[in-house]
Amino acid sequence: MKMKPIPYGKQYVSDEDIEAVVGVLRSDYLTQGPVVREFEEAFAKYIGCKYAVAVSNGTAALHLAALALNVKTGAKVITTPITFAASANCMRYCGAEVVFADIDPATYCLDIKSVESILAKSHKGEYSGIVAVDFAGYPLDLEDFRMLADDYRLWLLEDACHSPGAYFVDFKGQKQFCGGGMNADISVFSFHPVKHIACGEGGMVTTNDEGIYQNLCLLRTHGITKEQDLFKNPLEVAYGVEAGELCSGSDTYPGWYYEMQGLGYNYRLTDIQAALGASQLKRADAGLQRRREIASVYNHAFEGKRYLKGQSGYNEGHAYHLYVIEVDDRNGLYQFLRKNRIYAQIHYVPTYLMPYYAQFGWQRGACEMAERYYSRCLSLPMYPTLTEEELSFVIRKVDEYYEEG
């Protein structure tokens, strides 16, 4: 029997998910209702942070994070080139200059030594912050990045779009979950269909800083607040009367009143999407466990193979959004797998090689490890509903290409 197509990633929508969405469709609110807040609170509890703000997608989350960190035109920010372009683009939206540091060939994530080298050559106050990406689901040790950021008085933004549920063990021997807010000022997540939790589109910003949280809430909704405790205008303005003309009983703001206190955006998540996300969150741990089981199988299957130059390996704290192998003749393997209906993917072209960033002087040779990785990397199928038969087929076809090709 011919094997059905195997993508590199895909969503799984259960009957419970469908029921949750239908429940919202039959309710009084499709957007700006109670389900968004319920999703935010459940996600914050899952991650282990104080505050979570749901937004329309992961890129919106990154943009709002940059705005909440007060990123301005002319600021200089360091990030990794091996990531989706949004990790860098969010800084460009604010007019900042993006500087790319190299990756650690063992983790495929931002190399702290490369970042430190860039900062050591800078003058005081030249850089504003670091965007650290938990690429493929690998949990960066943000304790080390926090200390480096503090040394140079930088903010630290964690792009955790690949890593809900991932963790590293800190110097006290305690688990630090991605997005938990113990080290990063702000973290962001994505709920795109190929991610661990799917909302169709959606994102989340997490923080432990109340001031940042309140700012995010404003920025998400046109800069508008309906919270009376935050109002700035006097009661006369709220009621539309002259000073001294307030009627009896007008000692509080009227129910219709709201204030736009800054220039914000419409980056809201709908209750329909939040219902799907909240339902999927309930089985997030089960999905994470299955991803780790698949990673363990890949790790053992490829270990010691002559064609293997590197792989994601097995790490208990890894979230495994992706499972990456590095191989010789990557392009040939990619085409061979496609002929066998295995749709592996490449993650990612180094961001600075995109034509947009070339205008700022970036060119080939800027980050040696990133470019070496890009020439050999391949993301294999990785999602919780991948069957044992499909998993074995993928491994067998990779072996076949090199052993018989």
Q: Could you write out the three-class secondary structure of 156-213?
A: EEEECCCCCCCEEECCCCCEEECCCCCCCCEEEEECCCCCCCCCCCCEEEEECCHHHH
From the number of C-beta atoms within 10 Å of its C-beta (0-12, 13-18, 19+), residue 390 rates as middle
Q: What tokens does 311 get? A: 């792989």
**Distance in angstroms (rounded) separating the CA atoms of residues 347 and 108:** 11
Instruction: Identify the segments of the chain with pLDDT beneath 50.
Output: none
End-to-end CA distance of the chain: 23
Q: Which domains does the chain have, with CATH numbers?
A: 6-223+263-281 (3.40.640.10), 284-404 (3.90.1150.10)
Query: pLDDT value at position 245?
Result: 84
**Distance in angstroms (rounded) separating the CA atoms of residues 17 and 298:** 30
Query: pLDDT value at position 275?
Result: 98
Coil, helix or strand for 380? Answer: strand
Q: Which helix (H) or strand (E) holds 255?
A: none
Residue type, 188: V
**Residue 336 DSSP symbol:** H
The structure's pTM equals 0.96
Query: Comparing C-alpha atoms, which of 322, 268, 326 is closest to residue 295?
Result: 322
Q: Which helix (H) or strand (E) holds 100?
A: strand 97-100
Question: With contact defined as beta carbons under 8 Å apart, do 185 and 209 qualify?
Answer: yes
Question: With contact defined as beta carbons under 8 Å apart, do 87 and 79 qualify?
Answer: yes
Query: pLDDT value at position 1?
Result: 61
Q: What is the tens place of the pLDDT at every residue in 291-326?
A: 999 999 999 999 999 999 999 999 999 999 999 999
